[in-house]
Amino acid sequence: MEVLRVKAGSKIYYTRVLLGVGVGLFSGWLYLVLPLGLLQSLIPSILAVLVYVGSFYLITRVLRIKAEDLNNPAFLKTGGIFAYFLTWLVFWSLYLTFTLPPS
């Protein structure tokens, strides 16, 4: 039986996509729980940015991926950035779409 090895770049990408899903759902819940006006939209956005920055430490410490393991060392910081924020925005929007009552 052959063991399937996942490339380091793919691990980074899929980790950030899964984080985008989780933070998107949490942001939607947070939006409903904190009725703070303008801050109501700003806090989930700041949370998304902070989790993305924190994902660098998750990837280097938990997954133990080093810049030397990648073809492009900058991919450690920028890999999956578009997928992360798009996934976060989609799941935040979907959560609010299905939980907010129609006005």
| Annotated domain spans of the chain | 8-99
* Tokens 């924190």 found at: 54
Output the pLDDT for position 75.
Answer: 86
CA distance 24 to 27: 5
CA distance 95 to 88: 11
59 in Cβ contact with 81 (< 8 Å): no
* Tokens 């956005």 found at: 45
Output the pLDDT for position 28.
Answer: 92
Give residue 39's region: left, alpha or beta (phi > 0; psi -120 to 50).
Answer: alpha
Ordered mean pLDDT values, 10 residues apiece, the chain (103 residues): 84 95 95 80 91 93 88 88 96 93 78
